[in-house]
Amino acid sequence: AAFKQPPARHLTEEEKTPSLTELRQILWMNRKPVAPFNQVWPNLYIGDESVARDKSTLSSLGVTHILNAAAGRHRINTGQEFYSDLEVEYHGIEAADHPEFNLRPFFTCAAQFINSALKKNGQCRVFVHCAMGVSRSGALVLAYLMISQGLSLVDAIIAVRLNRDIGPNSGFLEQLRQLEPLIQVKNKTFRRGHF
């Protein structure tokens, strides 16, 4: 399936971030089977552990940057060393796919890692993964789209779901809900020239 790009739209001041229940309805509507990987934004892929460990697939996709949202000894212990025979830049985040886990401190560094790669020269491709490519990686890509691309949470979810079914757990969704007003304030301040 070809990559689909959503129309650009920015939240007006009247629009508020939907409730957790409303967000869940958007995420769980018309679900399709999850593929090992999908391109969800130009040169940005979300996938699962099998693809993260499959160097020939990563090479054929032209992946230059890997963001592992399930890094660590007891999870997906790949790391820069694992990819030493590929020319990739690696960034690992030791996140648990649990609603109580605070993923918020990682939103900005993940967004910066993805953004700096995609801004380089148009040749870089970023692969973001966790175990299933649904919750942790989905949440970090949504954060990237909100922080770096200025999308609202709903628009970010819709954009990704055009190409892949994701399902951040309720804790991550709530953390993304709390991120949205902070970004709106920052963008407004930035537009007024105060930043």
Residue 5 belongs to a domain: no
Residue 7 belongs to a domain: no
* pLDDT by 10s per residue, the chain, length 195: 566 766 555 545 446 778 888 888 888 787 777 899 999 999 999 999 999 999 999 999 999 999 999 998 878 989 999 999 999 999 999 999 999 999 999 999 999 999 999 998 778 999 999 999 999 999 999 999 999 999 999 999 999 999 999 999 999 999 999 998 888 777 665 555 544
Residue 24 has a pLDDT of 86
Residue 46 belongs to a domain: yes
Residue 62 belongs to a domain: yes
* Domain span holding position 138: 37-190
Distance from C-alpha of 91 to C-alpha of 69, rounded to nearest angstrom: 9
| CATH number assigned to the domain comprising residue 114 | 3.90.190.10
Tally of domains within the chain: 1
Residue 194 has a pLDDT of 45
Residue 15 belongs to a domain: no
Residue 6 belongs to a domain: no
**Distances in whole angstroms, Cα of residue 103 to Cα of each of 34, 87, 96, 169, 192:** 23, 28, 9, 11, 30
Residue 133 belongs to a domain: yes
Q: What pTM value is reported for the model?
A: 0.87
Catalytic residue list: 130
